A and B are shown apart, each in its own frame.
Chain A
Amino acid sequence: MVNLEALHELPPAVGSAPTDGAFSLLWLVIALPALGAAVLLLGGKRTDKWGHLLATAAVIGSFVISLILFFSLTGRDSGDRQVTQHLWNWFTTGSYSVNFDLLYDQLSAVFLLLITGVGSLIHVYSIGYMEHDVRRRRFFGYLNLFVAAMLVLILAADYVGVFLGWEGVGLASYLLIGFWQHKPSAAAAAKKAFVINRVGDIGLSLGTALIFITFGSTSFAVVSAGSHEASSGALTGIGLLLLLAACGKSAQFPLQSWLLDAMEGPTPVSALIHAATMVTAGVYLIVRSNFIFSLTEDARTAVIIIGCITLLMGAVIGCAKDDIKKALAGSTMSQIGYMVLAAGLGPAGYAFAIFHLLTHGFFKANMFLGAGSVMHGMNDDVNMRNYGALRKAMPITFATFGIGYLAILGVPPFAGFWSKDKIIETAFADNFLVGLCALVGAGVTAFYMTRLMLLTYFGEKRWEKDVHPHESPKVMTYPLIALAVLSAFGGLFTLNSWISDWLAPVVGEHGEHELGIPAIVMSLIILVVVALGVAVAVQLVGKREVPKVAPEKVSVFTRAARADLYGDAFNDEVIVKPGVAGIRGLAVFDRSVVDGGVEGLATALSAISGRFRLLQNGFVRSYALALLAGATIVIFALLAVNFG
């Protein structure tokens, strides 16, 4: 008997309405950027002149199709909003068959708009940002490759398809982090990101394997229909493996250390891949697998714990960084921690996780691009101690960044207020401790973001010599303005709880959560905490002289935060060193035991044959004797057999 109570909270199985009308265009959303990448990367130097325009046009084309699809979807009944497009049978072995199907439902629709929309803006921005780079064509080729892979990830209707996109975005991320490969630090960062992501990928592949063992299929439709009957042990196992995958891709504890180094890539890459889209793939995976996570309390608890740890860790790291991009990267970690936390809250939180993902995509892309604009004006300097008083030199960048700042702080009515408040409220409704973590995180966020704002845009000029900050060209500021508008009004999505209702058919209905106090009081408490964070930052950073060189005499906490809370040191001590020692031991074993055995055998054989070789003495008569002896033995043997 199926547990009726659980069934009530769960969405219906993923349906498969046929594709017709506009929905038959679905494959084109992926095909356009994929084609762009192919033309740019295979076309060589011939495409140098117009390649970046083609790439941008491809992504904008995808965006337009996504808009058409979205409005076609809203035109349908809410029960009829899941469309599956069957492209081809990918492979079949025995009873296991994987189809290359695309699933377009409410969740993928939101992602599609975010990826192609923010992706288009960042492509446009990159036209200006990468104008003087000799390898610009390649950059745009990689960007298109990334967009195509990301779209495969979110449109696939099967865990194997998700895996394809998952690996694809990992590859694109690797290529783009190491885009300035002449810098050893960039090459090392790319390698680090790739290797750490590999750990997460193992989680996804093992999770997919376990799903196949449990359900006999890996398609969302079959798994969501059968998840009630699966044993709780299997579900928890799958949940934990998928969580490992999410940790790798979304830079969650304990696989977080690659994200800060990933800032070696060009800034548009940091904005698109390492803030707005790719790093949120882990959140997508958890929400997409809601039919598994909703049924396994244990795995969800693990998700919540990981989310809490990461949101605090990221925020603390963000406080101590002088590199503007690394401070923002710490913030990204922390915000994704919020999303993972919300996703771990189960049906109550899925929609808010996605909502925060959306608004974070807007304001974080906005701020990263703003940081890129600042760097553009400051001769690619990233050290905030060399900034200061930039609000007059770069008014548009300042204004748009400021909106992003208000959004991430959660000041009403900007986008972050709506999404972050919901998460904190839901967290408090679930567990007081979890809520407290989220609340403290909000305060720390306010501190480090205010510090970043003060160091960059206010205070005294601390510019290096020969630096003449100037506003960026229009091709860069227009995307900033567009993103700032989205950061300001992104909260409208939650009007009338639209986003929750919209996603309900995918992630399940959930009534109002039980909060002891009215929502307005909760919001006020959060605002007070945020204001406190801002006040502390103003007191500690704004009212003091900012030294050019980071002070050495700092508390042990600051030192820890500067060292990324010893994430690298931890990995080095716990994983790298024992690993290296183990490999050395294996090498010794290989040389002495394996090689020794094989070589010893060979030496023994050659020694024995050296003895036997002496029989070939060259004397014909001794050969004749051997012949005779042999013949005699054969004859006697025959006689013995026949007459014995």
Chain B
Amino acid sequence: MSTTPFIILSAILFTIGAVGVLTRRNALVVFMCVELMLNASNLALITFSRANGNLDGQIAAFFVMVVAAAEVVVGLAIIMTIFRTRRSASVDDASLLKY
């Protein structure tokens, strides 16, 4: 079984996620794009794990999922709080922390 299609898929997904993070203003969408990037990298990890015949990549993928789940909890809570105070979920509005 060739690994190339999986890797290409992973790259496409990662690129979509990255472009989304850079271009979208809505915090929720940005957040989902981040998740997309994480899962794209999971896919690459698992692919290489299969190709190499050991479990290291799969273990790493589990770690990524756990961290992603924790991050969702914290991230959504922050987005919620910002939305409550500013009535907006735009990431460009939350730009007070600067020079």
Report which A residues bind B (CB closer than 8 A).
613-614, 616-621, 624-625, 628
- A617, B98: Cβ atoms closer than 8 Å: yes
0 or 1 for each of B13-40: is its CB under 8 Å from A? (1 = yes): 0000010011101000010000000000
**Closest beta carbon of chain B to A610's beta carbon, Å:** 9
B94 cross-chain contacts in A, Cβ below 8 A = 620
A616 cross-chain contacts in B, Cβ below 8 A = 98-99
B22 cross-chain contacts in A, Cβ below 8 A = 621, 624-625, 628
- B96, A620: Cβ atoms closer than 8 Å: no
A616 to B95, CA, bound (A): 10
- B18, A628: Cβ atoms closer than 8 Å: yes
Contact with A621, one of B21, B96, B97, B99 (Cβ below 8 angstroms):
B21
* In the complex, the 10 A-B pairs of residues with the closest C-beta atoms, listed nearest first: A618-B98, A618-B95, A613-B99, A620-B91, A616-B99, A616-B98, A619-B95, A624-B21, A617-B98, A618-B97
B56 proximal to A (CB < 8 A):
no
Show 14 residue pairs from A and B whose CB-CB distance is below 8 angstroms, ordered by the A residue: A616-B98, A617-B99, A618-B95, A618-B96, A618-B97, A619-B95, A620-B92, A620-B94, A621-B21, A621-B91, A624-B21, A624-B22, A628-B18, A628-B22
Given A616-B98, A619-B91, A628-B22: 6 more A-B contacts, CB < 8 Å = A613-B99, A616-B99, A618-B97, A620-B30, A621-B22, A621-B92
**Closest beta carbon of chain A to B99's beta carbon, Å:** 5
> Could you say which interface size class chain B belongs to?
10 to 19
Contact with B92, one of A613, A619, A625, A628 (Cβ below 8 angstroms):
A619
A622 to B47, CA, bound (A): 32
A628 cross-chain contacts in B, Cβ below 8 A = 18, 22
A618 to B93, CA, bound (A): 9
Interface residues of B in 72-99 (CB under 8 A from A): 91-92, 94-99
A613 to B21, CA, bound (A): 24
Q: With a 10 A CB-CB cut-off, give which of B21, B25, B30, B94 has the most chain A CB atoms.
A: B21
B99 cross-chain contacts in A, Cβ below 8 A = 613-614, 616-618
Residue on A nearest B98 in the bound complex, by CB: A618
Task: Label chain A's interface by main secondary structure.
Answer: helix
B18 cross-chain contacts in A, Cβ below 8 A = 628
Residue on B nearest A617 in the bound complex, by CB: B98
A614 cross-chain contacts in B, Cβ below 8 A = 99
Residue on B nearest A620 in the bound complex, by CB: B91
**Closest beta carbon of chain B to A443's beta carbon, Å:** 89
Residue on A nearest B34 in the bound complex, by CB: A624
B98 cross-chain contacts in A, Cβ below 8 A = 616-618
Residue on A nearest B92 in the bound complex, by CB: A619
**Closest beta carbon of chain A to B4's beta carbon, Å:** 18
B91 cross-chain contacts in A, Cβ below 8 A = 619-621
A628 to B95, CA, bound (A): 20
A359 to B41, CA, bound (A): 106
B95 cross-chain contacts in A, Cβ below 8 A = 617-620
A613 to B91, CA, bound (A): 21
Residue on B nearest A613 in the bound complex, by CB: B99
A621 cross-chain contacts in B, Cβ below 8 A = 21-23, 25, 30, 91-92
B30 cross-chain contacts in A, Cβ below 8 A = 620-621
**Closest beta carbon of chain B to A635's beta carbon, Å:** 12
**Closest beta carbon of chain A to B74's beta carbon, Å:** 15
**Closest beta carbon of chain A to B89's beta carbon, Å:** 12
A619 to B22, CA, bound (A): 11
**Closest beta carbon of chain B to A573's beta carbon, Å:** 60
Residue on B nearest A632 in the bound complex, by CB: B18
A620 cross-chain contacts in B, Cβ below 8 A = 30, 91-92, 94-95
A628 to B99, CA, bound (A): 22
**Closest beta carbon of chain B to A624's beta carbon, Å:** 5
